[in-house]
Structure 1
């Protein structure tokens, strides 16, 4: 796993022979979050000809040329992310066609230059591996655990209410064992922690 990620999104725009290339690099937790961001970009740029992207997020990598010739957009974006030793990052480039064909080599350069421009002064931070724990607890215990998690700065997911309350905790992997013990202590062993 790459040791760095972005602390916030970065953007840049380059123009190549009248085509506009709008690049975005943003931290994402997983493929689902990345695809949601790509959908948001498509909605924000309905007149764009292409929304090409690449993702590095642990075991969740992927890329799309979105109609550009194979290997001319997604792969160059992915290589720039790898060159910067990033993980947990989506790189996307929105292209508005300017009427002049760039050829395969020109496209590779344009997509590479666009995402590289976005990453020039990107706020890079050390990537802390995260774990997701699923907690199943009685109603009173669930609130106690959620308050504790908030106090620790852990992200809690939406709760499902049934016979028990089920919700997720996202926290640094190095804190997972301590968190399991804390949940057990807070609920006197009544809560079940999976993951």
Structure 2
């Protein structure tokens, strides 16, 4: 992810698939919004919806993938150009999402909606589906290792488990070799605090070693109160 990744803001995604249906002038718009890991996975979701909704008039889609949301595609699937896929994609972009695909199945009700009506229907179907989803924020964590004598492993295991809970970090299972080695994945801004905590606990004998490795992790966004 590079040296600049620690300050980069990454788009969010969603935790699990959500479905939502709108009925507008007797036409049914059924939205399926699904988290995916790649364009191929997004295409597979679209294909599955088309297989299950084979009798629908249209199965329009929009997808955004990539850590930075740098791959985007959409399809009107037979609707007038620009009235379905692009409005759906714009909703995903406005929500600052990635690794997500939206498919809206339309069962025509016999009343034409016009271009503006179609734009509103397809975008609303996706927007209202996303209102039901759990948003997952994504951030970069840096890898830090902590090595201690086996006799002290239990104490530092407890210390690190308590520390990660309060600092948005993750703790991997320890590895026992010549020493007990702990791997902590922490926000780069919190590493100094971890070093200070370890120095205090060990009178300076135990240090946090930054490995240079980084990874992108998802953290579910708390639901709004009220």
Which residue in the other structure is 1:123 paired with? Answer: 134
- Find the residue that maps to 1:63 and give its secondary structure: strand
Which residue in the other structure is 1:148 paired with? Answer: none
TM-score, structure 2 normalization: 0.56
| 1:121 Cα deviation after fit | 2.6
- Find the residue that maps to 1:62 and give its secondary structure: strand
- The answer to whether residue 27 in structure 2 is matched with residue 16 in structure 1 is no
Which residue in the other structure is 1:70 paired with? Answer: 81
Distance 2:88 2:109 in 1: 20
Counterpart selection for 1:37 from 11, 36, 45? 45
Q: Which digits, 9 at most, give the CA deviation of each residue in 1:142-171, with x for residues without a partner? A: xxxxxxxxxx79xxxxxxxxxxxxxxxxxx
Runs of at least 4 residues of structure 1 off by over 2 A? 176-179
Distance 2:133 2:62 in 1: 17
Distance 2:80 2:10 in 1: 29
| 1:61 Cα deviation after fit | 1.0
Which residue in the other structure is 1:84 paired with? Answer: 95
Distance 1:6 1:103 in 2: 31
Which residue in the other structure is 2:61 paired with? Answer: 53
Distance 1:72 1:2, change over 3 A: farther
* Paired residues of 1:30 and 1:60 also in contact (CA < 8 A): no
- Find the residue that maps to 2:106 and give its secondary structure: strand
Q: Which has the larger radius of gyration?
A: 2
How many equivalent pairs are there? 138
Q: Which digits, 9 at most, give the CA deviation of each residue in 1:37-66, with x for residues without a partner? A: 000001111111101011111232100000
Distance 1:2 1:82, change over 3 A: farther
Distance 1:16 1:33, change over 3 A: same
| 1:128 Cα deviation after fit | 5.1
Return 5+ residue gaps in structure 2 as ranges.
1-8, 141-171, 174-187, 189-210, 215-226
Distance 1:128 1:11 in 2: 27
* Paired residues of 1:4 and 1:125 also in contact (CA < 8 A): yes
Which residue in the other structure is 1:190 paired with? Answer: none
